Amino acid sequence: MRIVVALGGNALLKRGEKPDARNQIENVNLAAEQLAKLAKDHELVITHGNGPQVGVLALESASDTRLSEPYPFDTLGAETQGMIGYWLQQGVKNALPSANVMALINQTLVLADDPAFANPTKFIGEVYSKEEAEKLAAERGWVVKADGEYFRRVVGSPKPQRVIETPLIKVLLDAGATVICGGGGGVPVVRNGEGKLEGVEAVIDKDLTAAVMADSLEADMLIILTDVDGAQLDYGTPNARRIDRATPAEMRGYGFPAGSMGPKVEAVCRFVELTGGVAAIGRLEDATKIIAGEAGTIVTPDGTYNA
Ligand code: ADP
Ligand code: MG
């Protein structure tokens, strides 16, 4: 099978853990053991989150007095693809020496008139007082919004339309490579007035980019790996229970929170609706069990799955 997996940010950095390289490499190596099991038997594309990492780089850039302004988020996103991509590339290679693993920097096209730009909602970077935030907004053209008692910069989260490097990713997969790409949703770019690609300040959802890649790469399966056993009904209550099998229409009918399970459910539904393929959400440790139909939430056109 050709499989696209999306790896959650918490697989790289657990909540509350220091963002030291050492900690992240340890976590990546644990994830890599699971990913290597998939790479052994399947054509594999790996994408990953970058929220905490891009936050660290943004803070560093903002406090570098040699710069007249911090590096923009498209550039920082590319930095995180290089850093996390390198860690994963090394981890998977060590776990499966026969694998040929390549991490790519990729650009993800979004539409300049995506409504998300007019109504930015994703908080990024540091917190500021109201006065500081307004000053920075005026100086740097930022949009700032209240986040609790502080103010923070917000950027839009436009919908990924296409991954620019798709033809090359296909070549690598056909050649037997395991490809790491689409990290952090990919570097957000738009086409400018001359039709040229240009980076934009935005944060693309990595789960939605994974769905776009899985479709365009004609993957058989999209697997979203995170820190819960699947999409649950009555989540966070004593009645919480994992959805085992479902159709996209059933999943859309339940409703899930926007910042976390929502984009994962949207991603699996889109992939299944567009391709008629199989998509799943589950725990990183259960990756092979999910493919075997023994774990996770599995979404298919008719809501059945037999491995
Ligand atoms: P990732 O870093 O893997 O993208 P997220 O934090 O974005 O992880 O999303 C996974 C989280 O979604 C879970 O840890 C859980 O706290 C939360 N969540 C919210 N609603 C649900 C639900 N209905 N079922 C399962 N998890 C849910
Ligand atoms: Mg997430």
Q: Among residues 37, 6, 45, which one has the least CA distance to residue 216?
A: 45
End-to-end CA distance of the chain: 12
Our mutation pick for probing the ligand 1 site, out of 15, 34, 157, 226, counting the most ligand atoms within 8 A of Cβ, is 226
Give yes or no for residue 188 CB within 6 A of ligand 1: no
Residue nearest to atom 19 of ligand 1 (CA): 261
Q: Are 42 and 214 in contact (CB under 8 A)?
A: no
73 confidence band (pLDDT: 50, 70, 90): very high
Q: Residue 187: which CATH number?
A: 3.40.1160.10
Query: Residue 27 catalytic?
Result: no
Residue nearest to atom 11 of ligand 1 (CA): 260
Number of H helices, E strands in the chain: 10, 17
Whole-angstrom distance, CA of residue 303 vs CA of residue 65? 56
Looking at the structure of the chain, the number of domains it has is: 1
Residue 141 scores a pLDDT above 90: no
Residue 228 CA to ligand 1 centre (angstroms):
7
**Candidates 8, 50, 183, 206; catalytic one:** 206
**Candidates 85, 125, 182, 264; catalytic one:** 264
What is the percent of the chain with per-residue pLDDT over 70, rounded to a whole number?
100
Q: What is the pLDDT of residues 84-140, one digit of tens each?
A: 999 999 999 999 999 999 999 999 999 999 999 998 988 887 789 999 999 989 988
Tokens 């699996």 sit on residue = 268
Give yes or no for residue 19 CB within 6 A of ligand 1: no
272 falls within a domain: no
137 falls within a domain: no
299 falls within a domain: no
18 falls within a domain: yes
277 falls within a domain: no
297 falls within a domain: no
77 falls within a domain: yes
Give yes or no for residue 256 CB within 6 A of ligand 1: yes
* Joined tokens for residue 69: 């302004």
Question: What is the domain range of residue 167?
Answer: 2-51+72-110+159-219
Q: Among residues 5, 53, 2, 1, which one has the least CA distance to residue 181?
A: 5
**Candidates 9, 182, 183, 184; catalytic one:** 9
Q: What is the pLDDT of residues 252-284, one digit of tens each?
A: 999 999 878 999 999 999 999 999 999 999 999
**pLDDT score, position 40:** 97
Q: What is the pLDDT of residues 143-163, one digit of tens each?
A: 999 988 899 888 899 999 999
21 falls within a domain: yes
